[in-house]
Amino acid sequence: MAELPSEPSGWLSENELEQIRGELPLLYINAIPVRINPMGELTEVGLLLRVDDGVMSRAIVAGRVLHHERIREALMRNLEKDLGGVALPRIPTNPQPFAVAEYFPTPGFGPFTDTRQHAVALAFVVPVDGDCEPSQNSLDIVWLSPEEAASEEVAREMTGGQDVLLRQALAHCGVLP
C-alpha cells in the first residue's frame, strides 16, 4: 500500500481552486438522502433548503472529493457536513453510483450546470436512519414523498439541473410516479 503524505490537507486555497476550476474538471459526489421503510421501500426523499448568492433553492447533498480521499469517505464527510453528525447514513463498503452527472459552466452542454466550473459528480442514493440537523450553508431539510419530490413545483425550486438528477434517482429506485 502506498504511503500517504504526512498531514495531507486535501484543500486548495481559494486562488488555487479558482485557477484549477478554470482548467480541469473536478470530481464531486452528489447524494440524495432517503428514508426506507421496514419493507425496503423508499418512502421519503430529503432535500436541503439553501441560500447561494442570495437565491433560496432546494438541493441535494453535494461536495468535492479531496486528494487521497476514498469515494465512501467523501460521501460520509459531505453527508455529515450537510445533514449533521447523527444522520446515520447507510453507505456500503464499496458504493456504486446510480449515475454520473457532468456539470458544465456554460448552459446548453447538457442538463447540469455549475457556473463556477466543469465538474463530474458521482451520484448516489443514500438511506439515512438518524436525525438530520442541516448545517454549513443548509438552512433546513424537508422530507418529501417520491410524488412530491418529482413534482414540477419542486423542480422549479432546484438549480443547476439537480431536479433532473433527482428524477433519475427516483427512476433508479423504481418510485418515479
Q: What are the tens digits of pLDDT across the range 154-166?
A: 999 999 999 999 9
Is 8 a domain residue? Answer: no
pLDDT of residue 31 exceeding 80, the answer is yes
Q: Residue 127: which pLDDT band, with cuts at 50, 70 and 90?
A: very high
Is 133 a domain residue? Answer: yes
User: Region 88-114: what's the mean pLDDT?
Assistant: 96
pLDDT attached to residue 137: 78
CATH number at residue 137: 3.90.79.10
Number of domains in the chain: 1
- Specify whether the CB–CB gap between 35 and 137 falls below 8 A: no
Is 151 a domain residue? Answer: yes
Residue bearing the bigger pLDDT, 163 or 4: 163
Is 14 a domain residue? Answer: no
Is 77 a domain residue? Answer: yes
Is 90 a domain residue? Answer: yes
Q: What is the mean pLDDT of the chain?
A: 92
Cα distances (Å, whole numbers) of residue 25 to 21, 112, 173: 7, 13, 28
Residue bearing the bigger pLDDT, 33 or 15: 33
Is 66 a domain residue? Answer: yes
Containing structural domain, residue 49: 26-172
Q: Residue 3: which pLDDT band, with cuts at 50, 70 and 90?
A: low
Phi and psi at residue 156, in whole multiples of 5°?
A: -65, -25
pLDDT attached to residue 55: 86
User: Region 8-20: what's the mean pLDDT?
Assistant: 76
Provide the grid cell at 38: 421496514
pLDDT digits (tens, 9 = 90+) for 49-85: 998 878 899 999 999 999 899 999 999 999 999 999 9
Is 73 a domain residue? Answer: yes
Residues of the chain with pLDDT > 90, as a percent, come to 77
pLDDT of residue 1 exceeding 80, the answer is no
pLDDT attached to residue 156: 97
User: Under the phi-then-psi rule, with left for phi > 0, alpha for psi from -120 to 50, and beta for the rest, what region is 108?
Assistant: left
